[in-house]
Structure 1
Amino acid sequence: MELKDLTPAPGSRKNRKRVGRGNGSGYGKTSGRGMNGAKSRAGKQKRAGFEGGQTPLYMRLPKLPGFRNINHVEYLPVNVSRLEEKFEAGETVDKAALKAKGIIKHETDLVKVLGDGDITKALTVKVDKVSASAAQKIEAAGGKVE
């Protein structure tokens, strides 16, 4: 077998449809577009999502779901059980320490310590917010919340 003997697989290549080249071609006169109507005219195609004049789905649905409070503040939750496993006794828990341990991604994020789990180590916690149950557990373990 040589390079000159290579041919594409049968049926893999089709000839281009040459419209408007006379009635003998099978695509003369109306060029395969039929008789009248918008689809037969140049440049007149329906837009995406057109439903025949009915109000389209994207206009029937509400623009935004629910109510968006512009004053809402998002805190990253960190449970006391996570502090128990990542920190040693006597350490200070602040944003820099949380980032260094891989608990949060950015030091600019707001952090709230929650009371899920147990804590036995005395830690000093300096974050944006601490829940009442978390503060109670930290202080019961001998730590303090600042």
Structure 2
Amino acid sequence: MNLHELKRSEGSTHRRKRVGRGRGSGVGKTSGRGQKGQMSRSGSGRKLGFEGGQMPLIRRIPKRGFNHASAPVIRPVNVGDLNRFDEGRVDVEALRASGLVNGNCDGVKILGEGDLDRKLTVEAHAFSKSAREKIEAAGGQCETIQ
């Protein structure tokens, strides 16, 4: 099957409803809006989340915590993921190139999940205590960027 052979299913398309075009159309005079009320007027509409005066869902559910808009974004990288690099120096650019760090971020923190089986000099903004121990136990070094 090719794109030019695709067709819509039978009955899936409908003609546009032409409202306000006389009594014989079935939606003449008030155009299906009824007689009076908020939604019968032109330009009517309710704001998003309005529930007819009932307390809106967004105000009924509990809220916890706070996310500061300008808080620094720190990307985590596990020690076990560093095994993909050859022995030598690993910096933030190398982590980006390998896909371990993506998107905008203010810093990279190396975490201690996994094991390291090669000697690496790792350059990052922060290290967890266990990550620092594992890198140094493998004969590597940890260099902190400011």
Structure 2 distance, partners of 1:108, 1:40, is 47
Equivalent residue, structure 2, for 1:87: 85
Specify the code of the residue in structure 1 equivalent to 2:92: K
- Aligned residue pair count: 127
Q: Does structure 1 residue 134 correspond to structure 2 residue 131? A: yes
Distance 1:123 1:66, change over 3 A: same
Equivalent residue, structure 1, for 2:6: none
Query: Taking every aligned residue pair, what percent have the same amino acid on both sides?
Result: 35
Structure 2 spans left out of the alignment, 5+ residues? 1-10
Displacement of 1:129 in angstroms is 0.4
Structure 1 distance, partners of 2:59, 2:15, is 44
Distance 1:13 1:130, change over 3 A: closer
**TM-score scaled by length of structure 2:** 0.63
Specify the code of the residue in structure 2 equivalent to 1:43: S
Displacement of 1:44 in angstroms is 6.7
**TM-score scaled by length of structure 1:** 0.63
Structure 1 stretches (4+) deviating beyond 3 angstroms? 12-17, 29-36, 39-42, 48-52, 58-62, 69-72, 106-109
**RMSD over aligned Cα atoms:** 3.8
Contact preservation (8 Å) 1:80, 1:117: yes
Structure 1 spans left out of the alignment, 5+ residues? 1-8
SS of structure 1 residue aligned to 2:101: coil
Equivalent residue, structure 1, for 2:109: 112
Specify the code of the residue in structure 2 equivalent to 1:88: D
Specify the code of the residue in structure 2 equivalent to 1:98: L
Displacement of 1:138 in angstroms is 0.5
Displacement of 1:74 in angstroms is 2.5
Equivalent residue, structure 2, for 1:103: 100
